[in-house]
């Protein structure tokens, strides 16, 4: 009996070993060695790990509780990890596993209308993002031969920018100024103006308050443009690692649509907070400082981000990625470290003056200190015909106004120049969320340059502008159509627009000699 039992047991073991060998043979390609490291230190937003000798730079690591981290410092004895989640539950001794992939983000049409964090996790409460593709956040910028010159304008809907500081699709235009001067307002107005322009918009909030981000999302949703937008959020109370990777994730999402042949606008709000987050991580990880007290590689940090903005060649789809980075200055110090870095990287800057903001001149764009090094070549010819000399004359007016404060006796020519300049400045004022189409802007600029508003008191210019915007495009839709198609504004077209604007002002319903003498006076063009 004992021999029979031993024989039966041996047969069972043989069958088991054969089955094990068959399973191993069938799955030998699927089996992979698993590296497991150990947390040795946990700080605010960072951790140090040992035991992962094969980990790669910027590889995604997984901590207990499905927390994520990014391998950043590859030292000889340990790895410095940027945490992408809160570190409250982590402690020394926890296990860390490699994922075998670099940090990536979901891309595709499924993201349209959504609010996500830089890893792709939803923040809007509308369920998971069911994207079919994921792409690495860090990618090389397009090669020189894969790019085309910037040729198409990106209309912001703001007269002072579209006429004097134009932006092209594929350009990088910096918006900078002190706190609370309207930087985000300009960016949001630009997004609103893309509703009918077939430009997809990505708003990347870096280090912004949750309430400010929620207000921005609510404004976009209320004005029916959120469905054409993607919001990537690395808020101020998020780990600094999420704030650090946020702009790269937003750019990767935009590059996917650019490669599909679409025009994309990406707003980075703001890169000053991004640099602070990187500085915090550098200090926590004890990275050696660069050339100056601030980490010297912060220039490379932003240059490798903004160099990904371009206009692709026709062989690659012809799409474009326009970048509007925002930077914050302190006490109007434009020559500070971060602003000068970004100015040297970008193709121009829009500077917002706190003095103009305090005077109620909104948007508070300082025309003399703002420039667009590319957009002028992409600007519609009608703008160049109408506002070609307006920038220079407006800057001269500002200087003349400053000097005229010290003199009470002015000649008639100087008085006329000052009066015209004040009206031009008043016309450049524009309330938030009230963008203007190209024909409306051209109609107003034609009227102001022709002197149609010279006989009106400044307090009535807003009403006059509304009348001109409403009447002129209705009376000359053919001219407006040619303007939108990029045709030059001929002398006959200009005269027709001036006549239509003059008739609209004189025939305005508000015309009343008793209540509104401004519109009752005869208005004639001034050379």
3-state SS assignment for residue 40: strand
Q: For 458, which DSSP code?
A: G
Structure tokens at 181: 């001067």
User: In b/e form, how buried is each residue of 297-315, taking b as 16+ CB within 10 angstroms?
Assistant: ebbebbbbbbebbbbbeee
Phi, psi (deg, nearest 5) at residue 458:
-60, -35
- How is residue 35 written in tokens? 């590296």
- Residues with Cβ < 8 Å from 327, sequence gap 6 or more? 174, 175, 176, 270, 271, 272, 338, 339, 342
Q: Identify the residue whose tokens are 């397009």.
A: 142
DSSP letter assigned to residue 362? S
Cα 328 to Cα 338: distance, rounded to the nearest angstrom: 9
Catalytic: 373? yes
Contact assessment for residue 275 and residue 209, using Cβ atoms and an 8 Å cutoff: no
Q: Is the peptide bond before 165 cis (omega within 30 degrees of 0)?
A: no
Separation between Cα atoms, residue 334 and residue 371, nearest integer Å: 14
Q: How far apart are CA 160 and CA 280, in angstroms?
A: 37
Left, alpha or beta for 7 (phi > 0: left; psi -120 to 50: alpha)?
Answer: alpha
Return the closest-CA partner of residue 177 out of 351, 338, 357. Answer: 351
SS3 339: helix
For residue 141, give the DSSP letter: P
Q: At what angle do helices 240-259 and 298-306 cross, to 10 degrees?
A: 30
- DSSP class per residue in 318-336: --EEEEEEEEE-STT-TTS
399 is written with which tokens?
Answer: 């200087």
Catalytic-labelled residue, pool 121, 209, 286, 373: 373
What radius of gyration, in Å, describes the C-alpha atoms of the chain? 30
Spatial separation of the C-alpha atoms in residues 278 and 17, rounded to whole Å? 55
**Secondary structure of residue 397 in the 3-state scheme:** helix
Which active-site residues does the annotation give? 373
């Amino acid at each position: 009996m004992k021999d029979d039992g031993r024989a039966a047991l041996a047969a069972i073991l043989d069958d088991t070993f054969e089955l094990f060998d068959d399973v191993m043979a069938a799955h030998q390609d699927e089996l992979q060695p698993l590296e497991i490291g150990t947390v040795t230190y946990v700080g605010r937003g960072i951790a140090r790990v040992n035991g992962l000798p094969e980990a790669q730079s910027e590889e995604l690591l997984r901590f207990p509780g499905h927390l994520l981290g990014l391998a950043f410092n590859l030292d000889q004895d340990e790895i410095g990890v940027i945490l992408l989640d809160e570190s409250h539950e982590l402690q020394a001794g926890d296990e860390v596993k490699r994922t075998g992939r670099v940090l990536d983000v979901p891309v595709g049409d499924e993201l349209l209308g959504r609010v996500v964090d830089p890893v792709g996790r939803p923040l809007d409460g509308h369920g998971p993002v069911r994207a079919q593709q994921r792409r690495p956040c860090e990618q090389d910028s397009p090669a020189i031969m894969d790019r085309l010159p910037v040729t198409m304008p990106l209309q912001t809907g703001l007269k002072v920018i579209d006429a004097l500081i134009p932006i092209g699709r594929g350009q990088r235009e910096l918006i900078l100024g002190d706190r609370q001067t309207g930087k985000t307002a300009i960016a949001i107005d630009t997004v609103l103006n893309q509703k009918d322009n077939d430009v997809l918009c990505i708003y990347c909030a870096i280090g912004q308050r949750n309430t400010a981000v929620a207000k921005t999302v609510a404004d976009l949703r209320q004005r029916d443009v959120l469905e054409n937008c993607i919001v990537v959020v690395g808020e101020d109370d998020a780990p600094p690692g999420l704030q650090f990777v946020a702009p790269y994730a937003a750019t990767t999402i935009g590059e996917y649509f650019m490669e599909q042949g679409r025009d994309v606008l990406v707003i980075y709000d703001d890169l000053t907070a991004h640099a602070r987050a990187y500085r915090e991580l550098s200090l926590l990880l004890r990275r050696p400082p660069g050339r100056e007290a601030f980490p010297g590689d912060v220039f490379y940090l932003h240059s490798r981000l903004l160099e990904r903005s371009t206009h692709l060649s026709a062989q690659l789809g012809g799409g474009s990625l326009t970048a509007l980075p925002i930077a914050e200055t302190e006490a109007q110090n434009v020559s500070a470290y971060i602003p000068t870095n970004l100015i040297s990287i970008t193709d121009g800057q829009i500077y917002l003056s706190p003095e103009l903001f305090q005077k109620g001149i909104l948007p508070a764009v300082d025309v003399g200190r703002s420039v667009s090094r590319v957009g002028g070549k992409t600007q519609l010819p009608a703008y160049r015909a109408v506002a070609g000399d307006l920038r220079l004359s407006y800057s001269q007016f500002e200087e003349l106004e400053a000097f005229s404060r010290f003199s009470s006796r002015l000649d008639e020519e100087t008085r006329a120049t000052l009066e015209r300049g004040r009206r031009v400045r008043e016309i450049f004022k524009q309330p938030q969320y009230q963008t203007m189409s190209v024909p409306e802007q051209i109609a107003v600029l034609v009227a102001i340059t022709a002197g149609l508003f010279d006989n009106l008191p400044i307090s009535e210019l807003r009403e006059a502008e509304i009348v001109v915007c409403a009447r002129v495009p209705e009376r000359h839709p053919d001219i407006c159509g040619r303007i939108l198609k990029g045709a030059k504004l001929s002398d006959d077209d200009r005269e027709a627009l001036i006549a239509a604007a003059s008739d609209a002002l004189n025939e305005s319903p508000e015309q009343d000699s008793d209540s509104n003498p401004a519109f009752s006076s005869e208005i004639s063009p001034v050379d």
